[in-house]
């Protein structure tokens, strides 16, 4: 009887084990932005969270126009050295993996795309969005080509096409990418991508990981406030606007001491802008040109240049804005249209402030003793070279500048100077 219960117990354990499906935990991370230090930091944190939750794989849902070359390199390095396979699915429909995004797809353990998505256009560009000079372009291009070709070959993908994406800036659709072995899977959503990946197997560190569709347990990585703030702050146009806003606020505070709000607001904007510039690849020459432009506006207050200093300031601000950022993929290139509008507003406001300050400094005083110079007074008493006169309804001591001037009471005289509390007069 005891033997019967032992056999029954073993049978029940084996049956329960057979019925229980092994789980394959996947952490989903949405990357829908340009590649920058914020996305680089987010990937590191997501992989740490993936390990903490004991997930078996990370799925990156990618939609990016490109981004910073250095951030892309570090993200590729992170993906290649991750402790779990990292799959990348370009989606949903209408998404793209352009420029720096091509390198991320090449580095993934398994890659897929949604229908109506594109990948490619990874050629480096110059600071103004145009092609760079031949020598520099060749150096950067060869560097990127060797990187993407080596990564693609290691992952068993079409290394020739990836090299052409950098060299010739080619771009293809999802179906074309699968036929050319640029990616392995075309799937309408992330789960369908995982199901196909599990069935075909994911090569990872010398072994192949397979799992059934029913084994998949999807978890979503929630980005925090820090990531959202950094993504906003590290956008080149936002950093540029914060820089201009900060300089404008401080300029108003300096020319109009005691207004408080412009100085406080400008200081906050300037500090945030300088932080963004310290993280982003910034040309010091562009930043110095912008600062020098502001200095020229300030000199316009003190020096009569008939607008020449203001013109020089506008020229410095424009060229400083154009060359402010540098990056191989052109992500940091601020369009001219995005420069002209804020720069025009900045110039108009600063120019108007300069005009008001200069006008106030050159205007005659309308109060105090110095304002009486040039006024007409009436003699009340006079003896020798001294006497009293009435000016503005007030009685003042006065002295004549001419030794032979002997005014009589009720005569009108002109105030030509002030010596202490005594007015200097002469004949009308």
> Can you list the domains of the chain with their CATH numbers?
21-224 (3.90.226.10), 235-362 (no CATH), 369-427 (2.40.50.140)
**428 residues of the chain, pLDDT tens digit each:** 555 445 545 444 444 443 444 689 999 999 998 898 999 999 999 999 999 999 999 999 999 998 888 899 999 999 999 999 999 999 999 999 999 999 999 999 999 999 999 999 887 764 334 445 566 667 888 889 999 999 999 999 999 999 999 988 899 999 999 999 999 999 999 999 999 999 999 999 989 999 999 999 999 999 888 888 988 898 888 999 999 999 999 888 888 887 889 889 999 999 999 999 988 888 899 999 999 998 888 887 778 677 788 889 889 999 999 888 876 666 667 778 888 888 889 888 888 887 777 776 665 555 566 777 888 899 998 888 888 999 888 888 999 887 778 888 888 898 888 888 888 888 87
119, β-bridge pairs: 97, 172
Rg of the Cα atoms in the chain? 37
CA torsion sign for 211, 212, 213, 219 is negative
> What length is written for the chain?
428
Residues 35/67, Cβ–Cβ less than 8 Å? yes
- Among residues 200, 3, 219, 190, which one has the least CA distance to residue 87? 190
Beta-carbon count within 10 A of 99 CB: 29
Does the pTM surpass 0.85? The reply is no
> What is the Cα–Cα distance from 129 to 97, expressed in whole angstroms?
19
Q: What pLDDT, on the 0 to 100 scale, is given for residue 328?
A: 62
- Among residues 318, 337, 335, 334, which one has the least CA distance to residue 326? 334
Query: Is residue 15 within a helix (H) or strand (E), and if so which, with residue range?
Result: helix 2-19
Strands (E), 178-279: 185-186, 202-204, 207-209, 216-220
Q: What pLDDT, on the 0 to 100 scale, is given for residue 423?
A: 87
Alpha carbon of residue 408 to chain centroid: 76
Residues 113/186, Cβ–Cβ less than 8 Å? yes
Residues 20/12, Cβ–Cβ less than 8 Å? no
Residues 274/282, Cβ–Cβ less than 8 Å? no
Strands (E), 310-407: 376-383, 386-391, 394-400
Query: Is residue 252 within a helix (H) or strand (E), and if so which, with residue range?
Result: helix 236-255
Q: Which residues contact 118 (CB under 8 A, 6 or more apart)?
A: 96, 97, 98, 171, 172, 173, 174
Q: What pLDDT, on the 0 to 100 scale, is given for residue 157?
A: 96
Q: What are phi and psi of 21, to 5 degrees?
A: -90, 130
* Per-residue DSSP letter, 131: P
Q: What pLDDT, on the 0 to 100 scale, is given for residue 19?
A: 42
What token pair was written down for 336? Answer: 């001219």
Q: What are phi and psi of 110, to 5 degrees?
A: -145, 135
What token pair was written down for 270? Answer: 């300037």
Q: Which residues contact 14 (CB under 8 A, 6 or more apart)?
A: none
Residues 324/334, Cβ–Cβ less than 8 Å? yes
- Among residues 297, 289, 288, 249, which one has the least CA distance to residue 269? 249
Q: Which residues contact 258 (CB under 8 A, 6 or more apart)?
A: none
- Burial of 257 per CB tally in 10 Å (0-12, 13-18, 19+): exposed
Cis omega before residue 193 (within 30°)?
A: no
């Amino acid at each position: 009887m005891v033997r019967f219960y032992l056999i029954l117990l073993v049978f029940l354990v084996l049956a329960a084990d057979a019925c229980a499906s092994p789980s394959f935990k996947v952490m989903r991370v949405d990357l829908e932005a340009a590649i920058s230090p914020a996305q680089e930091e987010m990937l590191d944190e997501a992989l740490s969270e993936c390990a903490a939750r004991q997930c078996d794989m990370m799925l990156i849902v990618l939609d990016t126009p490109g981004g910073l070359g250095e951030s892309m390199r570090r993200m590729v390095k992170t993906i290649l050295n991750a402790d779990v396979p990292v799959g990348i699915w370009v989606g949903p429909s209408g998404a793209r993996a352009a420029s720096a995004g091509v390198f991320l797809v090449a580095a993934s353990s398994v890659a897929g795309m949604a229908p109506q998505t594109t990948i490619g256009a990874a050629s480096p560009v110059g600071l103004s969005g145009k092609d760079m000079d031949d020598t520099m372009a060749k150096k950067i291009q060869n560097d990127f080509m060797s990187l993407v070709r080596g990564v693609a070959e290691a992952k068993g993908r079409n290394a020739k096409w990836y090299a052409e994406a950098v060299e010739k800036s080619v771009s293809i659709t999802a179906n074309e990418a699968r036929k050319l072995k640029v990616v392995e899977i075309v799937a309408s959503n992330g789960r369908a991508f995982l199901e196909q990946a599990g069935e075909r197997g994911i090569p990872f560190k010398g072994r192949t990981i397979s799992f059934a569709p029913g084994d998949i347990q999807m978890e979503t990585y929630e980005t925090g406030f820090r990531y959202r703030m950094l993504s906003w702050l590290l956008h080149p146009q936002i950093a540029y606007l914060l820089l201009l806003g900060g300089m404008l606020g401080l300029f108003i505070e300096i020319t109009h001491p005691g207004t408080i709000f412009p100085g406080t607001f400008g200081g906050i904007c300037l500090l945030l802008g300088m932080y963004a510039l310290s993280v982003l690849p910034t040309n010091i020459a562009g930043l110095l040109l912008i600062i020098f432009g502001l200095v020229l506006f300030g000199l316009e207050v003190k020096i009569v240049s008939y607008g020449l200093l203001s013109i020089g300031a506008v020229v410095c601000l424009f060229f400083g804005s154009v060359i402010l950022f540098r990056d191989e993929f052109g992500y940091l290139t601020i369009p001219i249209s995005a420069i002209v509008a804020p720069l025009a507003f900045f110039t108009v406001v600063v120019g108007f402030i300069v005009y008001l300050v200069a006008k106030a400094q050159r205007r005659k005083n309308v109060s105090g003793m110095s304002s009486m110079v040039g006024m007409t007074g009436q003699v009340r008493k006079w003896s020798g070279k001294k006497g009293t006169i009435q000016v503005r309804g007030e009685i003042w001591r006065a002295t004549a500048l001419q030794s032979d001037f002997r005014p009589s009471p009720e005569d009108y005289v002109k105030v030509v100077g002030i010596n202490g509390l005594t007015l200097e007069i002469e004949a009308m």
